Structure 1
Amino acid sequence: MGDVFSQLYIHLVFSPKHREALILPDWEEELYKYITGVIQQRGHKLLAIGGMPDHVHIFIGQKPSESISDLVVEIKTSSNLFIKEKKLSRHKFDWQNGYGVFSHSRSQLNAVCKYILNQKEHHKKKTFQEEFMKFCEDFGIEIGKKEFFTWFGQDVHK
């Protein structure tokens, strides 16, 4: 059988449980480096990682032999353990079950990387909830009765 040739650019978005702002600036870089290692160890290419205290964006060149859901489970499980073992968070830390996954074309690489790396500037104007709902709208994801992130202090359905 011949080699596999692929071009899969995947943008992942997920949050701590209840979208709480638990990812603090003094250890976010350590977390991002750890997540980068998990992604690379599994054969994917990290293109950008960034976020805010209440969510993370990860942009990868995906290896087609692993499902997105398996990768997300591994990232969340191992990074959650990493946070607990290193005692990075003073609060109980868990990732929320849900996540967003969006695909992009090669022509969008630079724009998506820039967007992810400039999260702190971007979120001076827009909340995570506004951002995520806009993604869903832009990508034609029907919101309907789907359960989205549990927004801290808000109803889970939008």
Structure 2
Amino acid sequence: MAVKRKVRRYSGGVYDLGLHVVWCPKYRRQVLGGRVSVRLRELIEAKAAEKGWEIVALEVMPDHVHLFVKHEPKASASYVANQFKGFTSRVLREEFPHLKSRMPTLWSSSFFVASAGAVSADTVEKYIDTQWERPWTKKRKEEEGSRAPGV
């Protein structure tokens, strides 16, 4: 499935930022099933809506969570991950007492996060490397070269 590019605007520019975030319960315990899984999905969706972030994909597995989320440029990757982890831990542990009794904290302190988007790193690299090959930039480069000092 291809991710459709949807740029957003704000006063400082235009952006399209996405993150793949993965996190696990403490000790990788398989506690994210049944009602906990359903409620976790609701909480993640609520936090994303509160922040104005777009959930592209979300899977809750028994022992980990995969999330692909689009966010604004001012939010760092760790901020995004920790917003979901902190909020969901607090609410789930209040609503499901067995999560408090089995583990000292709901989530492991670590997480995986990678930037992701509609284009690959190879595509971006090729785009940057070939800037001067475009017809409109070749002409401008030639013009700038003819105005160089000593020419």
TM-score normalized by the length of structure 1:
0.61
Runs of 4+ aligned structure 1 residues displaced above 6 Å come to none
Q: How does 1:65-76 map to 2 (within 5 A)?
A: 65-76=74-85
Shift of 1:103: 2.0
Given candidates 31, 34, 54, the residue that maps to 2:40 is 31
**What whole-Å deviation, never above 9, does each CA across 1:104-139 have from its counterpart, x for those lacking one?**
23158xxxxxxxxxxxxxxxxxxxxxxxxxxxxxxx
Which secondary structure does the structure 1 equivalent of 2:14 belong to? coil
Provide closer, same or farther for how the CA distance between residues 89 and 59 of structure 1 changes in structure 2, counting only shifts above 3 A.
farther
Q: Which runs of 5+ in 2 are unaligned?
A: 1-9, 121-151
Shift of 1:59: 0.6
Q: Which has the higher strand share?
A: 2
TM-score normalized by the length of structure 2:
0.64
Q: Which has the higher helix share?
A: 2
Q: Residue 108 of structure 2 aligns with which residue?
A: 96
User: What is the number of equivalent residue pairs in this alignment?
Assistant: 108
CA distance in 1: counterparts of 2:85 and 2:11, whole angstroms: 33
Structure 1: which amino acid aligns with 2:45? T
Rg (Cα) greater in structure = 2
- The alignment yields a C-alpha RMSD, in angstroms, of 2.1
Shift of 1:37: 0.9
Shift of 1:3: 4.2
Provide closer, same or farther for how the CA distance between residues 17 and 45 of structure 1 changes in structure 2, counting only shifts above 3 A.
same
